[in-house]
Amino acid sequence: MANVVVVGAQWGDEGKGKIVDWLSERAEVIARFQGGHNAGHTLVIDGKIYKLSLLPSGIVREGKLSVIGNGVVLDPWALCDEIERVTALGVTVTPDNLKIAENAPLILPPHRELDQLREAAAGVAKIGTTGRGIGPAYEDKVGRRAIRLADLGDADTLESRITRLLPHHNALRTAFGAEPIDRDALKAELLAIAEKILPFAAPVWKILDERRAAGNRVLFEGAQGALLDIDYGTYPFVTSSNTMAGQAATGTGIGPGRLDYVLGIVKAYTTRVGEGPFPTELKDAVGQRLGERGHEFGTVTGRQRRCGWFDAALVRQTCTMSGIDGVALTKLDVLDGFDELKICVGYEIDGQRYDYLPTAAAQQQRVKPIYETLPGWQESTYGARSFGELPAAAIKYVVRVQELIGRPVALLSTSPERDDTILMRDPFAD
């Protein structure tokens, strides 16, 4: 049975939530493998809206096992709040349908505070983080001073972890003029949340192996997008984890050979939240129109997204780096009514042409997009459920996207509703 990895192939906000939800009907297990509660996704099911950040999309479906892997940094307080919110919407969340990796590192209140202190001090040099402590938590993980979920189960272990953590954080806080961490208050908070969160702790790697051996299909769900990858994104305006498909193996404890199909999610245009380069950004009426029609506001932050034309050069690049087999093209309906559409096919920097975005920040700042113009369409694509329903110009646009990125369009989304999805190639069948 095929296991499918779903990753964003742009700067996030590509519509992964809906696509993962649509695919989750065909899978028995849905696993998150990186990121934290800094990236959210919205599901619309039978007119009911679910906004998720930490919980895998499969949690809203009965009979599915949801997994949060070790590659995720977990804010236990944020998770408990999210569980309360979805429970109020009629979703059942118990240790039977949600498992969290025992070795998942925790986001603590000092991480959130440090994140916000840094951004405030950076001024115009700020990166544009969500201020939720994701970066500092990952720093502590690689610095070998993190408190992990399993540590909450033993008071002596927790005490030693706090002892290792405090000198590092207090030194930083002193530099920012903040008060030292109250050790007793932090420990009390952790012991209080432990009883709520520990029942979900489990050896995720073992459970996934057993489920695979039993013939279950596993859907691996990424957060953010490939262009925010800590190694391959537009550094330093990136997230603090690897967002590429290969992280699905490391972030859950399975072998890379168990990943059978990689589906990249791409919006029919391009958006970005926060700071950083954006070659096709439109700071005009067209960009504003895309934002208004696409309701481009962040699920977690509420920040308005920057909008621009589809960048085939960038998507082709992320398809290569993530080993993407096919893409799900979302929000095609947002392009309805434009007289003409543009697609970026490459770049020019100081008179030299590039078919990829160079790594050097100075070059990225001087990038000029090279566009190809296609005719738009006046008919509505909203809610279309078959390729034949689409206007001829829309079909031409989709076909041209396929040609330029070198990957087939496996799924086509024409509205936020789950069933308004055109299946052109089933990832689980490959």
Reported in sequence order, the residue ranges of 194-313 that DSSP labels E, i.e. its strands, are 201-202, 218-221, 261-267, 270-272, 306-308, 310-311
- The residue with tokens 């050069």 is 313
DSSP for 338-400, please give it: -SEEEEEEEEEETTEEESS--S-HHHHHT-EEEEEEEE---S--TT--SGGGS-HHHHHHHHH
Contact 235, 46 (CB under 8 A): no
13 a catalytic residue: yes
Q: How far apart are CA 258 and CA 217, in angstroms?
A: 11
Q: How far apart are CA 368 and CA 371, in angstroms?
A: 10
- Among residues 37, 41, 111, 169, the one annotated as catalytic is 41
430 a catalytic residue: no
Q: How far apart are CA 414 and CA 319, in angstroms?
A: 22
For 369, list phi and psi in degrees, rounded to 5. -70, 145
Q: How far apart are CA 231 and CA 243, in angstroms?
A: 9
DSSP, collapsed to helix, strand or coil, labels residue 287 as helix
- Among residues 13, 140, 311, 333, the one annotated as catalytic is 13
Q: Is the peptide bond before 236 cis (omega within 30 degrees of 0)?
A: yes
Element (H, E) at 411: strand 409-413
DSSP, collapsed to helix, strand or coil, labels residue 311 as strand
**Sign of CA pseudo-dihedral 110, 115, 118, 121:** negative
Q: Is 334 exposed, middle or buried (0-12, 13-18, 19+ CB in 10 A)?
A: buried
Residues marked active site are found at 13, 41
